[in-house]
Chains A and B, each alone.
Chain A
Amino acid sequence: MSEKTDPKIKIEARGVEVFYGEAQALHGIDLDVNANQVTALIGPSGCGKSTFLRCINRMNDVIDGCRVNGNIAIDGQDIYSAEIDVVELRARVGMVFQKPNPFPKSIYDNVAYGPRIHGLSQSREQLDHIVESSLKRAGLWAEVSDRLLASGTSLSGGQQQRLCIARAIAVSPDVVLMDEPCSALDPIATAVIEELMEELRKDYTIVIVTHSMQQAARISQRTAYFHLGNVVEHGATQQIFTNPQNQQTEAYISGKIG
C-alpha cells in the first residue's frame, strides 16, 4: 500500500509556543502527525506533552491567561486562524481524557450528546444507528446493549473509558486525541483499549500521550519525545526505541530519568 510507504501528513505543528501567564510551557514545537497512524507523545512529567495535545483541539482556550503562538494546521488549514470556529474544530478533533469522565446521564445519551448538538442525525433511527455503531467500534456494544438507559457512571472504569471513546467517535472526527487514557485503568482494561486503538486507526488519526513506554512501543507507529517544553526527538517508534539519536531520549527510555 502506498499509504504505508508515504503516509499523508494530517497535523502540522510549527513553532508552537504556549504561555501560562508568564511561564512558558512549550518552546517552539515542530511536529508532523501522519494520518491513520498512532502517534505517541512521551516524556517526563511536566514536559509539555499534554499541553501540546490540548493545543490540537484548542482546549487551552478555556484556561485563563493561556496564550498560544505558532501554527498548527490540520489538513493544511491553520486551526488558530480567525475563521476557524472552535466548536467545529472540536467536532473534527475528538478527545479522550486521563480520567474517564462520562456525563451523569444514560449510556445512550452520553454517546448521542455530540451528534445531537451538531445536528448529525435527522431522525431517531439515525441517532440509534450512530450510537450503536460508535459503541460497537469502541468495543462496548456487547456489554451494554441491554442497558443503554443505565447511567454512564454505573459502568466500571475501563467501560467508562470506552464509553468516552465511543462518545468521542460518535461525532465522526478525523483525529482522536488521547491524554493518558489508560492511566486510571487496570492492565486488562488497558489491553482492551490498546487493541481498540489499533482498530480505530484505520479510520482516525490518533495522538496519544502516555507515561508508559511499553504502551507507546506496543501501539504507536511514530513517537515524539518531549523534554522541558521541547521535542527532543521524533520519528518511527521502532527507531526511537531501538536506536535513539539523542542522549536524553536514550536516558529516558532506558529508565535513567523520568
Chain B
Amino acid sequence: MTEFRQTEARKAQLAKRYRAEYRFKAFGIGAICTAGLILLFLMGSILISSLPAFTQHYVTLDIEITERHIDTQNLANSDWRGLARTSLRAQFPEVQGRRDKRALGKLLSIGASDDVRDYVLANPSSLGTKIRLPVTLSDDIDLLLKGVIDRELPENERVVSNQNLAWLDKLVAEDRISRQFATKIFTNGDSREPELAGLHGALVGTLWTLLVTLLASFPLGVMAAIYLEEIAPKNRLTRIIEVNINNLAAVPSIVFGLLGLAVFINFFGMPRSAPLVGGLVLALMTLPRIIIPTRAAFAAIPPSIREAAMGVGASRLQVIMHHVLPLAMPGILTGTIIGLAQAAGETAPLLMIGMMAFIVDVPSDVTAKATVLPAQIYMWANNPERAFMARTSAGIVVLLSLLLLVNATAIYFRKRFEKRW
C-alpha cells in the first residue's frame, strides 16, 4: 500500500479543485441572479413607465350652457367643442387673434367636448345655467404636468411652447388644474388621441375570442384525450396521432395564423378581423395544449377505479363518464385554464387574420371587427406620440394582471382539488 501523504503538490491541487468548485457554484448563483434581475428590471421598467397612464390632468372650467352652443331640439347635435373652447377662452380675455385662440384651444383634448356633452346629457337641468366642470387636457400638456416632458428644455426641443406654458401656469395658479384616476383607459375604445385611448374594446374583443376558443377547444380536446387515453387501441394509427399532437404543440404560432388566413378566410370566406376566426385559430393552437395535460390527468387515475366500476358491470363509456372524467376534472380544468392563458397572450397568428384593426366601437358579437389586448398593445407600441408609451405599458400591466389572475386560479384549482393516489 502506498502511503497517503499530504504533500505540497497535493495540497495545491486540492485547493485548485475547491476553487473550481466555488467558481462553478458562483456561476450558478450568478445565473439565477441574472434571471431574477432581468425579471425585476422587465417588470419594474414596464410598471414605472405605465404609471403616468393611470392618471389624467383636468382643467376646471366655468361653463355657461347657453343657447349659442346648444341645440335644444337635438342635444346630441350641439357644438360641445365650441362650448368648451369658449369657456377656456373666457379665462384668458387677453388672448386675441385667430392663431393664438386656436393655440389656446389646443390645450384641451378633443375629448373635452365629450366631457361637457356627457355632463349635460346626464344633467338636463343644467341647461341655461353656469357649471364648474373638469375637462380633459391634451396629452402633451398632461405629460408636461406629470413631469415626463421637461419644462427646462429649450423651447424648440419640447413639444409645449412657451406661450402654452404661460397659460398653463396661470391655470395652475388659479387652482384650476386637477389630477384624477384615468377611468377612460378602461371605459373607452381605441383612439388616435393617447389621452382618450382605452382598452374597453380590446378587453371585450379578447373575451369574445377566448369564448370561441374555449367552446371549440375544450370539448374537442377532452373528447380527443378520452379517445386516445381510454378507448383507442394502442396501434400505429394512434401512435401517429400522438406524435402529431406533440408536434402540433411545437409549431410556431404564426403558422397557425397562415392556416387561418388560407382556410378560414380565403377558403371558407369567413370575415376578417372577427373574434370568430381569431378564436378558431387560437382553438387549433390550444387543442394540443389541452389534450396533453388532459391525458396526463387520465393517466394519473389509478386503474383500480376503472376495474371497480367494470367489476359491477359499467360499460367502458360509463366507466369514463361516471368515474374517470369527474376524477380527472381538476387536472383537465387546470390544463385548460393555462392553455387559455397562453392563447390570451398570443398576438402573431391574430395579426395574420387582421385582428389589429383600429376599432373605436366595442365589438357586439363574434363576427364584428375586433381586436384583442395583445394586438392593441402592439398597435399602441407603434404609435409615435410620446403619451402612447405610457398607454402601452398600462395595457401590458392590465394584460399581465389578467394573466396572473387566470394562472392563480389554475394554481388554486390544482392545490384545492389535487388528489394523491
Instruction: Give Cα distance in the complex from A104 to B306, angstroms.
Output: 12
Residues of chain A contacted by B419 (CB below 8 angstroms): 104
B312 contacts chain A at the CB level, 8 A cutoff: yes
B43 contacts chain A at the CB level, 8 A cutoff: no
A147 contacts chain B at the CB level, 8 A cutoff: no
Cβ < 8 Å to B, chain A residues 12-65: 57, 59, 62, 64
Contact of B311 among A90, A104, A118 (CB under 8 A): A90
A101 contacts chain B at the CB level, 8 A cutoff: yes
Instruction: Give Cα distance in the complex from A164 to B307, angstroms.
Output: 12
B312 touching A113 by the CB < 8 A rule? yes
Contact of A114 among B313, B315, B323, B327 (CB under 8 A): B313
Contact of B310 among A59, A99, A170 (CB under 8 A): A59
A171 touching B310 by the CB < 8 A rule? no
B315 touching A99 by the CB < 8 A rule? no
Measured CB to CB, the closest approach of chain B to A255, in angstroms, equals: 31
A95 contacts chain B at the CB level, 8 A cutoff: yes
Residues of chain A contacted by B312 (CB below 8 angstroms): 90-91, 94, 113-114, 117, 167-168, 170-171
Instruction: Give Cα distance in the complex from A87 to B305, angstroms.
Output: 16
Chain A residue, CB-CB nearest to B316? A62
A88 contacts chain B at the CB level, 8 A cutoff: yes
B48 contacts chain A at the CB level, 8 A cutoff: no
Measured CB to CB, the closest approach of chain A to B340, in angstroms, equals: 27
| Most chain B Cβ neighbours within 10 Å, of A88, A89, A101 | A101
B311 touching A103 by the CB < 8 A rule? no
Chain A residue, CB-CB nearest to B234? A64
Chain A residue, CB-CB nearest to B319? A62
B308 touching A59 by the CB < 8 A rule? no
Q: How many residues of B contact A (CB 8 A)?
A: 21
Q: Contacts A103-B323, A117-B313; is A97 near B308 (CB within 8 Å)?
A: yes
B308 touching A88 by the CB < 8 A rule? no
Residues of chain B contacted by A62 (CB below 8 angstroms): 306, 310, 316
A57 touching B308 by the CB < 8 A rule? no
Cβ < 8 Å to A, chain B residues 59-82: none
Measured CB to CB, the closest approach of chain A to B323, in angstroms, equals: 6
Residues of chain A contacted by B305 (CB below 8 angstroms): 101, 103-104
Cβ < 8 Å to A, chain B residues 312-336: 312-316, 318, 322-323, 327
Instruction: Give Cα distance in the complex from A152 to B322, angstroms.
Output: 16
Residues of chain B contacted by A164 (CB below 8 angstroms): 308
A102 contacts chain B at the CB level, 8 A cutoff: yes
Instruction: Give Cα distance in the complex from A117 to B318, angstroms.
Output: 8
Q: Contacts A64-B233, A104-B419; is A57 near B311 (CB within 8 Å)?
A: yes
B248 contacts chain A at the CB level, 8 A cutoff: no
B308 touching A101 by the CB < 8 A rule? yes
Contact of B307 among A101, A102, A117 (CB under 8 A): A101
Measured CB to CB, the closest approach of chain B to A67, in angstroms, equals: 13
B96 contacts chain A at the CB level, 8 A cutoff: no
B313 touching A88 by the CB < 8 A rule? yes
B309 contacts chain A at the CB level, 8 A cutoff: yes
Q: Contact string, A208-232, partner B, CB cutoff 8 A, digits 1/0?
A: 0000000000000000000000000
| Most chain B Cβ neighbours within 10 Å, of A59, A64, A96, A113 | A113
Contact of A101 among B234, B304, B318 (CB under 8 A): B304
Instruction: Give Cα distance in the complex from A208 to B71, angstroms.
Output: 95
Residues of chain A contacted by B302 (CB below 8 angstroms): 101
B304 touching A104 by the CB < 8 A rule? no
Contact of B313 among A90, A96, A103, A104 (CB under 8 A): A90
B309 touching A95 by the CB < 8 A rule? no
Cβ < 8 Å to B, chain A residues 117-168: 117-118, 164, 167-168
Instruction: Give Cα distance in the complex from A57 to B419, angstroms.
Output: 30
Instruction: Give Cα distance in the complex from A244 to B310, angstroms.
Output: 37
B304 touching A99 by the CB < 8 A rule? yes
A90 touching B233 by the CB < 8 A rule? no
B304 touching A97 by the CB < 8 A rule? yes
Residues of chain A contacted by B309 (CB below 8 angstroms): 103, 113
Q: Contacts A97-B307, A99-B304, A117-B322; is A87 near B234 (CB within 8 Å)?
A: no
Chain A residue, CB-CB nearest to B315? A87
A selection of 9 A-B contacts at a CB cut-off of 8 Å is A57-B311, A90-B310, A101-B305, A102-B308, A103-B305, A103-B308, A104-B327, A117-B318, A167-B312
Residues of A within 8 A of B (CB): 57, 59, 62, 64, 86-91, 94-97, 99, 101-104, 113-114, 117-118, 164, 167-168, 170-171
6 new A-B contacts, CB < 8 A, other than A62-B316, A97-B311, are A62-B310, A87-B314, A97-B307, A101-B302, A103-B323, A117-B318
Closest 7 CB pairs between A and B?
A91-B313, A90-B313, A114-B312, A101-B304, A95-B311, A101-B308, A87-B315
